[in-house]
Structure 1
C-alpha cells in the first residue's frame, strides 16, 4: 500500500537547530512593495509563486555560514544562497527596455517547512504550502504591530504577466548561476537592494550607491572574462572595449576613444558620492540624478545575463534589427 505523506507543518526552533547542517525548505515571503511575475515557477529544489494575495518562494538549501564556513562574520540578514539564486535568475529574465521586476523579500522571518523531500511541481503541494503561508500571515495580523516578525501584505500585489519577460530563459539562468560565483551573486544582490531602496524616494541616493556596488562587481566579472580570453591584467579600457564589442558595435556605434574607461562617465560623481571630500572638492550633497540608478540597473542586469550565458536574448537581436531598419518597431 502506498504511504501517505504527513500533512505539512512548520519546523520548530529545536528541530531546526538539530537539522541546521542539513538542507531544509525555507520560505521567504515578499512584500507588496515589489513588482513580481504572476504565476508559479518551479526549478530544481526551488519554487516561486505570485498571486494577488501572496508572493512567496520555497527553496531547499542551507544558509551561507553552512554553505561556506570560511566567509567573514556578519550580523546582517540576507537571502540564503538558494533564494538569491532563484531571485537572480528571475531578474535576469527581464528584456531590454521592458518591464522591471522588483523583489522585496521580508527577511526577518523565514520559516522552515517540516519536510525532508517535497514534489514542488505538484499542485497539491503548492496549495498546501500556500495555505500555510496565508495562515502565518493571519497569525501575524493578530499580533501587536511592534512584535510582528514580518509585515503581512496590506494591499494587493503589483504583478506582471509572464509574457512581459523572457521567462523561457529562466532554467538557463538558474543553471548558469551554479556553482555560486560570489562576485556575480554580490552584484545581483546589490541590484535587488537598489530596487528595494528605489521604492522609497528618500532613499534614491542609497539606491544609486547600491548600484555602484553592482558596478564594481560587474567590472570584476568582466575582467575575469577577459583573463579567460587571454588578456593579462585587463584594464578599465579593456573592459570598455568589451562593452563596445558585445553591446554597442552591433548597433553601429563608434568605438571608445583612447581615454574612455568602463562606465568612465560616472567616475567623478561616484567618487564625490562615496567620498564627501576628494580631489574634486567637498560636496554637501551627492551629485546624482534618478536616471543614474535607472541606467545602471538596466545595463548591469544585461551585462550579468551575457556574462553568465555567453549569449544575448532574442530581445537584443530584435533591437539591433529595428535600429538597422531590418524590422519595424512593433514587428515580432
Structure 2
C-alpha cells in the first residue's frame, strides 16, 4: 500500500486522522495483547509525539517512554470537560498497566506478526481501536458500535480470503463461521458468521431495513462489549495463528459448560 507518497509503516492509516499504519499496529498490539476483557482503552487527546522505538515491548516495559505522551498539550481543564466522572479527572490519576511477562509476550507476538501491508487487517484494527475511543463518551456509543461493525466486516473478509486460498470458490457466511469454529476448536455451530450480531448491524447501517425504520435504533452497552471482546480474540487468532490465553480459557469454559470434552 502507498498513501500520500509514503509506503510501509509510516503511511497514514486514514486521511482524516494522524495515525500511521505502524501506530495502528502498535496500539492494537497493546489492546489485543491484553486479552478479550482488556481494560486498555485509548482516550482521544490532541497530542502528537514521536517515539523512536520499533519494538512494542520497549515501550510497554518502560513507562518513561509512554508516559510523556499524556503530558504535552493536555491540561487538567481538558479532562474536566464533559467526561461526567467516567474518566480520570486529572493527568495524575492515570495509572500505567502492570504488565506481566505473559501478556507482554503475547502483545509482542501480535506486533511481530501483524502485516502493515494488509489493508483489510489495518482497516479492521483501526475501526476496533476507534470503537473503544468513541465508547469513552456515551453520546457517541452508537458510532462506537458502527466502528465495531466495520471491524467485524474486516474479520469476515479476512476469513473469506483465507477460505478462497484454501480452494473455496464462493464461501458463504456459514462457511466463515464453520472455519472460525475449527480455528477455535469447538464443534460446528451451524450458524452464520457472528449471527447474533447480524440484525444489529443491519439496523445500525440502514435507516430503513426489513426490520423497520427507527429514529434512533436501540442498542445495549453489552452489544458493544461482547462484540469487541469477541473481535479481540478473533483478530489475535487471525494474525498470530494462535489463541490468546484468555480466549483459550473462555473456549475451554464454553466446552465444559456444554459438557464437551476439552482437547
> In the alignment, what sits opposite 1:295?
226
Equivalent residue for 2:172, pick from 219, 235, 246:
235
Alpha carbons 1:306, 1:312 under 8 Å: kept: yes
Distance 1:244 1:112, change over 3 A: closer
Distance 1:89 1:131, change over 3 A: closer
Gaps of 5+ in 1: 1-62, 146-151, 326-332
- TM-score by structure 2 length? 0.74
Distance 1:174 1:279, change over 3 A: same
> In the alignment, what sits opposite 1:110?
48
Distance 1:199 1:164, change over 3 A: farther
Distance, in Å, in 2 between the alignment partners of 1:204 and 1:159 is 25
What is the Cα deviation at residue 223 of structure 1?
Answer: 0.8
Distance, in Å, in 1 between the alignment partners of 2:123 and 2:159 is 14
Distance, in Å, in 1 between the alignment partners of 2:67 and 2:12 is 37
Provide the aligned length of Structure 1 versus Structure 2: 238
> In the alignment, what sits opposite 1:100?
39
> In the alignment, what sits opposite 2:212?
281
The within-5 A match list for 1:31-42 is none
DSSP-derived class of the 1:287 partner: coil
Q: Which has the higher helix share?
A: 2
Write out per-residue CA displacement over residues 261-282 of structure 1, whole angstroms, 9 at most, x where no aligned residue: 1122322222222222123221
What is the Cα deviation at residue 320 of structure 1?
Answer: 4.7
> In the alignment, what sits opposite 1:181?
118
Distance, in Å, in 1 between the alignment partners of 2:30 and 2:248 is 21
Please tell me whether residue 67 in structure 1 is matched to residue 11 in structure 2.
no
> In the alignment, what sits opposite 2:143?
206
DSSP-derived class of the 1:185 partner: helix
Write out per-residue CA displacement over residues 81-139 of structure 1, whole angstroms, 9 at most, x where no aligned residue: 2211111111121224x333112253x442458x9x9xx969xx996x789768845xx
Alpha carbons 2:63, 2:96 under 8 Å: kept: no
DSSP-derived class of the 2:141 partner: helix
Alpha carbons 2:33, 2:106 under 8 Å: kept: yes
Alpha carbons 2:31, 2:38 under 8 Å: kept: no
Equivalent residue for 2:131, pick from 188, 194, 204:
194
Distance, in Å, in 1 between the alignment partners of 2:189 and 2:4 is 43
What is the Cα deviation at residue 230 of structure 1?
Answer: 2.1
> In the alignment, what sits opposite 1:86?
26
Distance, in Å, in 1 between the alignment partners of 2:16 and 2:111 is 25
What is the Cα deviation at residue 313 of structure 1?
Answer: 3.0
Gaps of 5+ in 2: 79-88, 257-263
Distance, in Å, in 1 between the alignment partners of 2:13 and 2:30 is 28
Q: Cα RMSD over matched residues?
A: 3.7
DSSP-derived class of the 1:265 partner: helix
What is the Cα deviation at residue 164 of structure 1?
Answer: 9.4
> In the alignment, what sits opposite 2:259?
none
- TM-score by structure 1 length? 0.60
